[in-house]
Chains A and B, each alone.
Chain A
Amino acid sequence: QQQVKQSPQSLIVQKGGISIINCAYENTAFDYFPWYQQFPGKGPALLIAIRPDVSEKKEGRFTISFNKSAKQFSLHIMDSQPGDSATYFCAASINGQNFVFGPGTRLSVLP
């Protein structure tokens, strides 16, 4: 119930392409869904987040799509750049407490 599933495990995209990472959860009590970006040797950094009362949130090239009925959410990175190469984690929490993280997706954007 507390698990967050994430796919794919790794992703290779050409520069300028669209990167799509998917996550799924079981616990309907989750009410906050952030995405974190992690570069090697660094801690995860908050990228974008969404609450279940909206179906989409966009910040620059990053968009979260949220499907409450399917209990799924995804991250779309438009016009992917080599600088976006990192590991991306989805997460879920209840009232901003006790975040549960997915296993991560390693994104490589080829120049």
Chain B
Amino acid sequence: EAGVAQSPRYKIIEKRQSVAFWCNPISGHATLYWYQQILGQGPKLLIQFQNNGVVDDSQLPKDRFSAERLKGVDSTLKIQPAKLEDSAVYLCASSFAGRRSYGYTFGSGTRLTVV
């Protein structure tokens, strides 16, 4: 089974620029998550999709972050404009829908550095 694919692996941008991250979940996984992991901290949920609908985006800074999941498969997360405090690893995870399949599978993440 192929894992969760993310790209790019690394990105360095200047503050106020925009950036986009891409995620391809495991085939058949209806639920997709984006997490932000700041160095030395645990992952923090930004947004959760069920198929192509948003389930929870309560912690997404909507003035600068946006995400979409077209056709219920791939997803993109965008930051515009970026701030220094956005420097973090952005992790995508996916899982089967349903109560008895709780395991997440994470991708390797995109490490963003804002200078």
Contacts from A to B (Cβ < 8 Å): 4, 6, 32, 34, 41-46, 49, 89, 91, 93, 95-104
Determine whether B95 belongs to the interface, using a CB cutoff of 8 Å to chain A: yes
Check if B102 sits within 8 Å of A93, measured CB to CB.
yes
Q: Are B102 and A43 in contact (CB under 8 A)?
A: no
Selected A-B contacts with CB under 8 Å, 29 pairs = A32-B102, A34-B102, A34-B103, A41-B108, A42-B108, A43-B107, A43-B109, A44-B43, A46-B104, A46-B105, A49-B102, A89-B42, A89-B43, A91-B42, A93-B102, A96-B95, A96-B99, A96-B101, A96-B102, A97-B48, A97-B55, A98-B45, A99-B43, A100-B45, A101-B44, A102-B42, A103-B40, A103-B41, A104-B41
Chain B positions near chain A (C-beta within 8 angstroms): 4, 40-45, 48, 55-56, 91, 93, 95, 99, 101-109
